[in-house]
Chain A
Amino acid sequence: MGDASGGSVEVYVPYPLRGLTNGVGTVELHAANLGQAIAELNRRFPGLAYRILDDQGRLRRFVNAFVNDEPVSHLSPNDVPLRAGDVVTILPSVAGG
């Protein structure tokens, strides 16, 4: 479990969202949980949180998140603890037509 300020983690930003990150695909930041990580992403790249979270603060229906290799999409982002060195991956679901 990370502390309040959180350890350093790496967040992978998928290709469709890199228009908001000026092309950056990997972001290093400090966060104690996934909700904090997304908030920090949004601070650096305004608008990114809206693309990931729905009106209720949950991950959007077709957005997946992993911490290292563990799927955490079914959890509230604030309930997903992060530790220093964790790798967070945000991916679109394999869905659509």
Chain B
Amino acid sequence: MAAVKKGDTLVLVGTRKGLFLFHSRDRKRWSSRGPYFEGDTIRHAILDPDNGKTVFAGVTSEHWGPVVARSTDFGGKWSIPKEGPRFSKESGISVTKLWQLQKGAEDDLYVGVEPAGLFRSEDDGATWSSDDGLNYREGRDKWEPGGGGLCLHTILPYPGDSKRMLVGISAAGIFATKDAGESWSMYDAGIRWYGKQKLYDREDLSTCVHKMVRDPQDPAIVYQQNHAGMYRRTRGDPAWKIIENGLPISKSTGGAFGFPIAAHPHDRATAYAVPLVGDYNRVTPGGAMAVSCTTDGGKHWTKMTKGLPQRDAWFTVLREGLRTDSNDPAGVYVGTTTGQLYNSRDDGNSWQLMADHLPQVQSVEAGIVGGR
């Protein structure tokens, strides 16, 4: 097994059946490790961006419960805690799945779970504390699940400000805190009603957010792939704005459909998405795979297809299935539900098949060994 070295790009691929790690010096020749956690679902795994050394994996055993495992030698040994995050006895609910892991602004670790909940760890996942302000928020009994379950799948800390955070819950909506999770308010105005040319005029209406990402160059700007379209919002905006020029429009929702969205690590206003036909047929349009890119904050999107399959490619890319690395030019990675992993090392302009025949890809994450 090839050694993982400082400066390598590490790509973490969570699948329906275990975790796979890929590493490379030049992003042309890749070495692989794993699978780890045989038979278990890895909906997300990350390389700690602060030290570039610790891998955290959200391990969900459908039978035996979920835990966040940790390795400091890229899978050689895993530290598996005795317990995972738990809801209170009074709540009457139990954590069944882990969805997203995210480092916070204070070297803390967050995990989003199903049924929807947010937990925080100050000891690298050994123990967890509940964000009671969100987890037991009044009205949670009215939260409805999306097709993937009632899951908290997106956690967006605000760089340098530990009091601010956005989270996305399918299909309860988007929630924002400005007081480190003591209180939360909804953040859904501007999303279109399903299939109608009518927009939510209130923040506190549930929408099916699929994924959100901050613009790394201006983290107040957030891009959102929703069940009912593609959106952008920045601080001070009274509502989300539709940004769909150049994206295929779903006949059912009336908006651009897909699951993931990713931001370029360096280029302001540059983001990537993977359009699908619609919620009634969640596959690549026409069996031709494309990653769509905007370089102007969503005013226009263009298809990037060079090297991607343009026929007989009928698959889905799930909400964590698209990521960028922090290299220059940026690497972009896409994992499919049929087990292909594609990568670009030129900002998405051209693509290569990096791995095939993987189990269904649940998540793709990328980092640089040794730190940012």
Contacts and interface: CB of A to CB of B under 8 A. Distances in A.
Contact of B92 (A56, A93, A97): A56
B220 interface: no
A80 interface: no
10 contacts: A16-B39, A50-B82, A50-B83, A50-B84, A55-B86, A55-B91, A55-B95, A62-B63, A63-B63, A96-B62
Contacts of B93: 55-56
B96 interface: yes
A51 B65 contact: yes
A38 to B, nearest CB: 13
Nearest to A42: B82
A62 B97 CA distance: 13
B280 interface: no
Contact of B64 (A17, A95, A97): A17
A71 interface: no
Given A46-B82, A50-B84, 7 more contacts: A16-B61, A55-B86, A55-B88, A56-B89, A56-B93, A60-B94, A62-B62
B78 to A, nearest CB: 11
A43 B35 CA distance: 31
Contacts of A47: 80-83
B98 to A, nearest CB: 14
A19 to B, nearest CB: 8
A92 B39 CA distance: 13
B223 interface: no
B110 interface: no
Nearest to B96: A61
Interface in A6-27: 16-17
A60 B86 contact: no
A79 interface: no
A28 interface: no
Contacts of A62: 62-63
A3 interface: no
Contacts of B94: 54-56, 58, 60
B87 interface: yes
Interface in A40-70: 46-47, 50-52, 54-58, 60-63
Interface of A: 16-17, 46-47, 50-52, 54-58, 60-63, 92-93, 95-97
Interface string B11-22: 000001000000
B65 A50 contact: yes
A32 to B, nearest CB: 22
A54 B65 contact: yes
Contacts of B88: 55
Contact of A93 (B16, B63, B81): B63
A66 to B, nearest CB: 16
Nearest to B83: A50
A93 B197 CA distance: 46
A60 B63 contact: yes
Closest 4 CB pairs of A and B: A47-B82, A54-B94, A55-B94, A51-B64
Nearest to A97: B16
Contact of B89 (A55, A61, A93): A55
- Between A50, A55, A92, the greatest number of chain B beta carbons within 10 A of the residue's beta carbon is seen for A55
Interface in B52-100: 61-65, 67, 80-84, 86-89, 91-96
Contacts of B67: 50
B82 A60 contact: no
A60 B67 CA distance: 14
A62 B64 CA distance: 8
Contacts of A46: 82
A46 B86 CA distance: 17
Contacts of A60: 63-65, 94
Nearest to B81: A47
Contacts of A97: 16
A51 B91 CA distance: 20
Given A50-B82, A50-B83, A55-B87, A16 B92 contact: no
A58 B87 CA distance: 13
